[in-house]
Amino acid sequence: MSLKLVISDLDGTILETEDYHRRAYNALFGELGLARRWSKEDYSDRLKTMGGEKFREIFEWLDCPAEEYEVTKTELYARKTELYVSLIVADLKGNRLALRPGVARLFVEIGEHDIPLAIGSACVKWAALEVLEAALGKEFVGSLAVVCAGDDVERQKPQPDIYLLVAEQCGVRPADCLVLEDTAHGLHAALAAGMSCVVTPSELARGHDFAGAHLVAESMEMPGRIGLEELRALMPG
């Protein structure tokens, strides 16, 4: 297999944003008049579950009739996403948030060697695009092969659907794809898609089990610089 497509996750992989989900939930709880707040530890436990289960938990705190669950969940999810994006964009603009170490350097190197780079994010598409543009610039986002998001697929990570969709849209066989991820969920999605996977665990995912990963590193710079050559060397013979 040769490396023909690099697919990067967004949250936690390009930007250390996983904690912004927690902050957005907490901002949402404030708007809902709830006194609860999730600590980093509370949220880390919940990161192992799908988004829907978090909303089930929140719904149970609200005094709503059970039949309103679906509509309430949709509304809460939409508002939480707005809060999430606005917190990230504000911090990027205020230089309180930057790309994870080595990501910009690696992305430039991938582009210089004419290897397409794509994004597979569990976020809804408008949110993924807004965050990507604030982080990488509009021109860079325009150069991406494709951006697939959570609303493009039925089944979310750890199912392989999003990565298979990216590969299909790029016309590349899954075995020729390498995925950059930060959580066990994402790793399992990549492996289930039959792709190679490099994991740089985000802050909230450091306790996850990354068995099966082709490489686990603290970041693209630690313990050593990860470049295109290192990624190519990981592809199965």
**Nearest residue to Mg ion, scored by beta-carbon proximity:** 12
Q: Which is nearer to Mg ion, 28 or 208 (CB)?
A: 208
Least distance (Å) between residue 93 CB and Mg ion: 22
DSSP string for 78-140: HHHHHHHHHHHHHHHHTTS--BPTTHHHHHHHHHHTT--EEEE-SS-HHHHHHHHHHHH-HHH
Q: What single DSSP character describes residue 100?
A: P
Place of tokens 């592809």: 235
**215-216 and 147-148 as β-strands: parallel, antiparallel, unpaired?**
unpaired
91 is catalytic: no
176 is catalytic: no
State the residues that interact with Mg ion by CB under 5 A: 9, 11-12, 182
**196-199 and 177-181 as β-strands: parallel, antiparallel, unpaired?**
parallel
Closest Cα partner for 49 from 152, 127, 158, 125? 158
Q: Which is nearer to Mg ion, 72 or 156 (CB)?
A: 156
Q: Which is nearer to Mg ion, 72 or 159 (CB)?
A: 159
Least distance (Å) between residue 31 CB and Mg ion: 25
Closest Cα partner for 2 from 189, 180, 228, 175? 175
Q: Which is nearer to Mg ion, 161 or 182 (CB)?
A: 182
Least distance (Å) between residue 11 CB and Mg ion: 4
Q: Which is nearer to Mg ion, 111 or 158 (CB)?
A: 158
DSSP string for 186-229: HHHHHHHTT-EEEE---GGGTTS--TT-SEE-SSSSSSS---HH
Q: Which helix (H) or strand (E) holds 25?
A: helix 18-31
Least distance (Å) between residue 179 CB and Mg ion: 11
Least distance (Å) between residue 234 CB and Mg ion: 19
Q: Which residues are catalytic?
A: 9, 11
